[in-house]
Structure 1
Amino acid sequence: MHFSHDIRFRKETLQKLLHNILLHQADIVEALHKDFRKPAFETIMSESSIVISDLKHTIKNMESWARPKKVRASLLNFPSRDYIYSEPYGKVLVISPWNYPFQLSFLPLIAAVAAGNSVVLKPSELTPATSALVSKIIRETFDVKHVVAVLGDATIAADLLKKKWDYIFFTGSTAVGKIVAKAAAENLTPITLELGGKNPCIVDHTANLKLAARRIVWGKFMNAGQTCIAPDYLLVHTKIKGKLIALLQAEMEQAYGGNPEASPDFARIINSGHWKRLTALIEPYKILYGGQSVEAERYLSPTLIDEFNVESALMKGEIFGPILPILTYENEDDIRRTLGRYEKPLSLYLFTENKEFEKRILRHYSFGGGCINDTVVHFSNKRLPFGGVGQSGMGMYHGKYGFDTFSHKKSVLKKASWIDITIRYAPYGKKLKWIKRIMEWF
C-alpha cells in the first residue's frame, strides 16, 4: 500500500482517526486521571480538544497544502514554469513526552500522516494508562505498516534511535534532545526538537495586576506546573511586588481553595523521582505561600517563593513543577542581567500597558514564542508556528507548519522546448560582456 502519495487515502485515514478519538473521549479523561490525576477539564481543554481541532483543521486544508505551488520564474530561465512540490520524507520516528501525553503524541503524528509519511510513535513509559490508550487508538485506525506505537522504557527509545529514519521528531528535555540530535547526526537525519527552558514572566508597574495574577496562576499551575511553556519565574518591578504577591495568593485560593490537596482541579507530580527533585529545590524560609507536600500522593501544593539568590538550585534549571520563584527588578538593566544568565527560552511572557517597553522587550530578546498580557495561550492558535530557538529547540509545527515540517520541499523547473536561447552554451567567445550586462538586471 502506498501511504505517501495518495492524498485521498491520507485524508480518509485521518477522518477515521478523528472518529476513533471522539469515541474514546471518556477513556482519555480516565487514562490521564489514572496517570497523574489530571482534572477532566484540563484534559479536555489541553489534550483531546486540541487534537480534535487540529485534526479537523488538517483534514479541511491538507489537499491545498499538498498541491504543488507555482512560483514566479526567473527571466534567466525564460521560458519556464517553476513549482514547489511537497514530498513526504518517508519513515518518521516521533518520540513524545509524559506531561501532555495524548496531545503531544498525536499532533506531530497527524502532521506526519497528512504529509504522506509512515510513523513509528514512541509514547512515554511514565504515563502507562495514556500510552496504552494511544496505542489502542492507533491500532484501531492505521495499518501496522503505516503507523504503529511502540511501548517501552528508555532502552526501547535508545534502540529506536539506532535505526535509520528519514525524519525524527522529539519532544522532551534539552538534555535528552542532545542525545537525539547526536543519534540523528550519525545518518544526517533531519530533526525537530521541541525542548524547554527557563521561561521568564516579566510584570511591570503599569500592568493590570489583578488580571496578570489570574492569568499567571492559571498558566503556571495548570497540570501542576508540568508544562514546557509555563512561566518558570516571575521578574516583577519592585514597586508592585507586595501587591502582586497578595493578588497571586488570592487567585491561588480562588482556583484551588484553602487546601489544594483536596481540590479536584489540581494535578499530581508524575512520579516520586520528580516529586523528590522538586521538593529538594524548596528552601523553607523563602516560602511565601504553599510548600506543603505528601510523598505518598506525589502531591506538591502551588508554591510561591521569595527568591533573592540567582545562584540557588531553584534558579539553575527549568523547574517543571508548581513552584513559582519571584524575583524583582528596578530597571531594564536588571532585566537584561537576569535574562542574560540563561539560554534562549521556549517562551517569554510580559505584562505591561507600556507599548514602548513592550517593543523593546520584543526587539531585544530571542525566544520561541510568547504572550503579551497572558501566558501559555499562544500554543492554542494553530496558525502560529510553535517551536523553540537555540537550547529550547529547533524546528516548528502546528497546522500548516507541521505539514511543512514533515514535507521535503522539492523544487522543479519545467523548461519549454519550443525555443532555446544559446547564450549560456560554450564556446563562450565574446559572450562574457553580454552575460555581465544581463546579470546586472537581476
Structure 2
Amino acid sequence: MIKLLALVASKINLLRNEILQIFSALQTGMSLEEQSQRVFGTVRAAFRSEKTLDIRFRKQQLLALERFLRDESQMLLDALHADLHKCTFEGDAAEIFLVQAEIAYHLNNIDSWVAPKAAGDKGVAFAFDTCLLHPQPLGVALIIGAWNYPIHLVLMPLVGAISAGCCAILKPSEVSSRSAAALQALDNYLDSECYRVVNGAADVATALLQQPFDHIFYTGGNEVGKIVMEAAAKHLTPVTLEMGGKSPCVVDGNSDLDVVARRILYGKFSNAGQICVSPDYVLCEKPVQSLLVDALQKAYKQFFKTDPKQSSDYCRIINRRHFDRVRKLIDPAKVKIGGEVDESELYIALTVMTDVGPDDPAMKEEIFGPVLPIVTVRDKEEAIEIINSRENPLVIYVFSSDKSFVDKVQRKTSSGTLIVNDTLSFILVPNLPFGGVGNSGTGRYHGYATFTTFSNMRTVMKRSLALEFLNKARYPPYTIQNLAWMKWAMQLKRTGILRLFSFLVIFLAIATIAILRFFGRLS
C-alpha cells in the first residue's frame, strides 16, 4: 500500500511539473527554443556575477546537494523503484551513497584543487619567473543524464561542476520519468540561479543543445552521443561523452571459477544488466565453458533461492521498447540458465547462453540487459584478436592468475578501463578516472578528474620588467652565439648535480652583471 501511494505521489509530481511547464509556455507564448534561451541566459548571468568563484559558495552548494540526498532519499528510492523496480540496497548504494561519497571527496580536497600549482621545471632561462597552472571554471555546463542510473548519472558530474565553480543546467532522462520528476526538488536546495533542472522529452534536449554552453556532459548511447557532439561543434563546445559498448569478460581456466562466476553474475544482474560497464559477453576456451556454466548455475542459486522474478532484489527492464529489444537477443536453443520473460512485468530472467557465434544477434549490439552470451575461443590469443576486431570497449574484464597473460591483454588491447579479477568495483574508487576511449566515449570523471573536466587549467606566467639585458639574446640582430645561449638556457634535460651546477652558474652570472651595472650607475 505504501509503495502504491509513493507511486501515485511520484506520478502526480511528474504531472504537476509537466502542467507547470505547459502552462508557462502557454502563458509566455514562447517556443521551446526561446524558453531554453531564457533559462540559459539566466544561468549565464548568474555565472557572470562571479558568485561561483567563491570557494565558500561552492562548499555551501555541495553541502546543500548532500542535504538533498539525505532529506529526499525516500522520495528518490521510491522513484527508482517505480522506474526500474530498483530495490533499496541497489538504489541507496549505487545512486545515493556513491554521490554522497563523491561530495565528501570533493569537500575534502577542493581547497588544494583550486590552489594554483607550480608548472614544474622551467629551465634556466625562466628560473626567476612565476609559472602556474590556475584552475578556472569553464562557465555554464549542460549535463544530460541517462535512464539506467537516473540519479547517479546526473548528480555525479554535477558535483564536479559545482566544485570547479561552474553553473549547470541539468536535463534528466525522460525515460526514467519518476526519477526525473524527483530531481526537480533540487530547486529547493541549490541556488536556482546557478543550477536548473529542466525536464522534458527529446525536443527539450534538442532546444538546449542550441545554446552556446561552455561544456556539455552527456551519458547515454552512441547515436545520441553523435548528435550531441554535432550540436556542440557549432559552438566549438568541449564535450564529455560517457557511452558504452560491448565490454568483454575474458576467463582463464586457471582461475577459481566459483569466485569468477559470482563476480561475473554480480556485474551482470545488477540493475538487470542495464549498466554501461556490465560484462557484455564472455570469452573462454571450449573446455572452460561447461565448468563456468556449472559455476554460474551454482552462483545463480546462491543469489536467488527461488525464482528471481519473485525476488525484491531483481530489477526490471525500463520500458517495452527495451524489453522487446533485449528479448530478441535470446536464442532459446542456446540458453543454459534463465531465459524466462514476462511482458506484463517487463521481466527478463538473468540468462546465460553458450556456444554463441560472432554473428549471433547478441554479438551485434550492446546488450544492455540481463543476457550473457559465452563465446568459445581456441586459445587466449584468439580472445585478444576478437576484442581487437571490435570497437574499443568501455571496460575489459580479465579473470586470470597468469600475470604474463594479464600483461599481454593490457599491452595489446585498448579500453577505457581494464579490471583484473572483478567487475564493477573500480567505480567505487574516487581517484580512478572513469571514461571510455574511441567509440565508448571521450573524457574522464570521478574525483579530481571531474574537477578538471569542468575546469580550464589556465596557464599563468608572470615575469619581471627587470633584468632586461638577459633577454637581449632573443632580439635582432640574431647571432649564432645568441642562439647557442638561448638553447642552453631553455633546455630541460639536465638532472642532478649538473642541473644544480647550471643554475648556480647562471645565478652567479646574473648577480655579477647586476652588481657591475649597479656600481657603474653610481660612478
Q: Could you tell which deviates more after superposition, 91-100 or 76-85?
A: 76-85
Match for 1:133 among 179, 182, 199? Answer: 182
SS of corresponding position for 1:281? coil
Letter in 2 for 1:288: K
Shift of 1:26: 1.7
The residue number in structure 2 matching 1:84 is 133
Measure how far apart 1:312 and its partner are.
1.3
Code of the residue aligned with 1:67 in structure 2: it is A
Equivalence for 1:328: 376
Aligned to 1:103: 152
The offset of 1:78, in angstroms, is 4.1
Task: Return the offset for 1:17.
Answer: 1.4
Counterpart code for 2:235:
N
1:370–1:376 Cα contact (<8 Å) kept: no
* 1:279 alignment partner, one of 324, 327, 331: 327
Q: Which moved more, 1:226-235 or 1:56-65?
A: 56-65
Residue in 2 aligned with 1:291?
Answer: 339
Write the mapping of 1:80-229 to structure 2, written as runs, cut at 5 A. Answer: 80-136=129-185, 138-229=186-277
Output the CA distance in 2 between the equivalents of 1:307 and 1:269. Answer: 25
Q: Does the CA-based 8 Å contact 1:39-1:266 persist in structure 2?
A: yes
Contact 1:96/1:171 (8 A) holds in 2 = yes
Percent of aligned positions that are identical: 36
Q: Which residue of 2 aligns with 1:423?
A: 472
CA offsets, 1:235-274, max 9 Å, x none? 1122221111011011112112331111111000000000
SS of the residue 2:147 aligns to: coil
Of stretches 114-123 and 57-66 in structure 1, the one that deviates more from structure 2 is 57-66
**Alignment-mate amino acid for residue 134 of structure 2:** Y
SS of the residue corresponding to residue 162 of structure 1 reads coil
C-alpha change, 1:159 and 1:239, in structure 2 (3 Å) is same
The reply to whether residue 398 of structure 1 matches residue 446 of structure 2 is yes
Alpha-carbon distance between aligned partners in 2 of 1:100 and 1:424, rounded to the nearest angstrom: 60
Answer whether contact 2:52 2:165 (CA < 8 A) is retained.
yes
**Greater C-alpha Rg:** 2
Find the residue that maps to 1:169 and give its secondary structure: strand
In the other structure, the counterpart of 2:10 is none
How far residue 25 of structure 1 moved from its aligned partner, in angstroms, is: 1.6
Letter matched to residue 406 of structure 2: E
Per the alignment, in what secondary structure is the counterpart of residue 374 of structure 2? strand
1:189-233 deviation per Cα after TM superposition (whole angstroms, max 9, x unaligned): 011000101000000111111100000000111000000000000
Q: Is the 8 A contact 1:3 1:118 kept in 2?
A: no
Alpha-carbon distance in structure 2 between the residues aligned to 1:78 and 1:333: 52
Per-residue CA deviations over 1:153-207 (Å, capped at 9, x if unaligned) read: 1111111111111110000011111111111111110110001010000001111
- Any gaps of 5 or more consecutive residues in structure 1? none
Give, as a single letter, the amino acid of the residue that structure 1 aligns with 2:444: M
What is the aligned counterpart of 1:362 among 410, 425, 442? 410
Counterpart for residue 48 of structure 1: 96
Unaligned runs of 5+ in 2: 1-48, 492-523
Q: Quick one: distance in 1 between partners of 2:341 and 2:363? A: 20
Higher helix share: 2
Q: Give the drift of 1:429.
A: 4.3
What does residue 428 of structure 2 align with? Answer: 380
Q: For 1:428, give the aligned amino acid.
A: P
Q: Which residue of 1 aligns with 2:23?
A: none
**Is residue 2:110 matched to residue 1:74?**
no
Distance 1:429 1:248 in 2: 75
Q: SS of the counterpart of 1:4?
A: helix
Q: In the alignment, is the contact (CA less than 8 A) between 1:84 and 1:411 conserved in 2?
A: yes
1:80-112 Cα distance to aligned partner (Å, 9 max, x none): 011111011111000000001111110001100
Deviations 1:373-392 (A, max 9, x none): 10011111101000000000
Does the CA contact (< 8 Å) of 2:133 and 2:459 recur in 1? yes
Equivalent position SS for 1:206: coil
2:386 matches 1:338: yes
Q: Aligned to 2:212, what secondary structure does the other structure show?
A: coil
Deviations 1:394-413 (A, max 9, x none): 00000111000100011011
CA distance in 1, matches of 2:448, 2:88: 29
TM-score by length of 1: 0.97
Aligned match of 1:314 in 355, 362, 372? 362
Per the alignment, residue 351 of structure 1 pairs with 399
Deviation at 1:428, TM superposition (A): 1.9
Whether 1:305 and 2:305 are equivalent positions in the alignment is no
**Distance between the aligned counterparts of 2:444 and 2:314, measured in 1?**
30
CA deviations 1:282-319 (Å, max 9, x no partner) are: 11111111111111100000000114321111101100
Does structure 2 retain, via aligned residues, the 8 Å contact 1:3–1:146?
no
Using structure 2 for the length normalisation, give the TM-score: 0.82
Q: Does residue 247 in structure 1 map to residue 298 in structure 2?
A: no
Q: After superposing the two structures, state which structure 1 stretch, 305-314 or 161-170, moved more.
A: 305-314
Q: How many residues align?
A: 440
- C-alpha distance in structure 2 between counterparts of 1:143 and 1:46, whole Å: 25
Equivalent position SS for 1:197:
coil
| Partner AA of 1:291 in structure 2 | G
Range 251-260 or range 185-194, more displaced? 251-260
Q: Does 1:265 align with 2:326?
A: no
